[in-house]
Amino acid sequence: MPIRPLQALLIAGSLFAFNAQAAYPDRPIRLIVPWAAGGSTDAVARAVAQHMSETMGQSVVVDNRSGGSGRIGTEAAARSAPDGHTIAIVELPHAIAPAVFIKMPYDLLRDFTPVSMLGTSPLLLFVNASQYRSGGIQEFLKDGRASATPLPLAHSGNGTVSHLAGELFAAATRVKINPIPYRGSAPALVDVAAGLVSSHFSTLASGAPLLGAGKISALMVTGPSRVAALPNVPTASEAGIPGMVFSQWWALVAPATTPTEIVQRLNREVAAALAHPATRERLTTLGIEVRASTPDELRTFMRSEVTQWADVVRKAGINPE
């Protein structure tokens, strides 16, 4: 049977799409990190990008786009061409943001195609090492309650997990705080080490360099159990602080409508990167629990997180901006 012109056109179009995807990637891949370099998200991105660069035949380049509580870089990713050459990391603050910002330049659940979970990590309350020893949460609470002025507590921007952690901490402990926004955990922790602000909630990955240098101390952890690398640091529950059992998480996404074949390729590459001993060791050392997933599992997880944190924000009495 002869092929009709319309059939020929459809076949040619299908072959073109197949060849384009088969050639993927045909240039370097940009991995957008919506925070400053040096923080935990940056560490996760670079660990995964390094292995993917070795296996995908093209460089995976980390692009730090900080500002706007993560919204600037994330919006850039959402507006990128859905061809797999721009991907991004999203995390817990992205699930919190819809509840704390009236206007959002993107929709986490609508404007992105889930690729894979990357990992999770509890937060730690970091303070200046010259003022408190690691694990000294009770001394910090005593001083905070006795302070005549609110404690200047740094956070990574309005609506971020470090911001909400500070508000929950203040409500649960009766310690008055003065929230001060930064462009990420890395600059916030530098000022904690310098004594310019009292404290900052962040992951071990972000705090490890200054902690190892003896510049900052860790007082408590928000996870359900202690961090193996810091056995003397109690959990919030052990310290008598209720309602502070949660963890930061990271996931890889692509712009919405990215072809399924490309998403599946990226998912396989991420799974291989996370399973590689060097990557696992690098992230585990930073207190990050490696956690891969399918795209569908990640989609379900993100929906659940958006719903859960909207309820937390409402109960905390935080008014949307």
- 253 plus 107 within the same structural domain: yes
Q: What is the Rg, in whole angstroms, of the alpha carbon atoms belonging to the chain?
A: 21
- 48 plus 189 within the same structural domain: no
Q: Give the per-residue pLDDT at 22.
A: 64
- 45 plus 85 within the same structural domain: yes
**104 domain residue, yes or no:** yes
Q: Give the per-residue pLDDT at 21.
A: 54
CATH number of 167's domain: 3.40.190.10
**272 domain residue, yes or no:** yes
Q: Give the per-residue pLDDT at 228.
A: 87
**6 domain residue, yes or no:** no
**234 domain residue, yes or no:** no
- 164 plus 138 within the same structural domain: yes
Q: Give the per-residue pLDDT at 30.
A: 98
- 209 plus 276 within the same structural domain: no
Give the number of other CB atoms < 10 A from CB of residue 182: 21
Q: Give the list of residues 6+ apart from residue 14 with CB closer than 8 angstroms, or none.
A: none
- 131 plus 163 within the same structural domain: yes
- Domains contained in the chain, number: 2
CATH number of 52's domain: 3.40.190.150
**86 domain residue, yes or no:** yes
How far is the C-alpha of 59 from the C-alpha of 84, rounded, in Å?
13
219 is written with which tokens?
A: 């007082």
| Boundary residue ending a domain (221, 239, 259) | 221
> Do 53 and 59 meet the contact criterion of CB atoms below 8 Å apart?
yes
166 is written with which tokens?
A: 């500070």
Q: Would residue 209 be called left, alpha or beta, if left means φ above 0 and alpha means ψ between -120 and 50 degrees?
A: alpha
pTM of the model: 0.82
- 190 plus 171 within the same structural domain: yes
Q: Domain range holding 154?
A: 124-221
302 is written with which tokens?
A: 């993100």
pLDDT profile of the chain (321 residues), mean per 10: 50 46 89 90 95 97 91 96 98 92 93 98 97 96 97 89 92 95 91 97 93 97 92 96 93 98 98 96 90 98 95 82 80
Residue 230, SS3?
A: coil
- The CA-to-CA distance between both ends of the chain, in Å, stands at 65
Q: Which of 8, 175, 321 is nearest to 166 (CA)?
A: 175
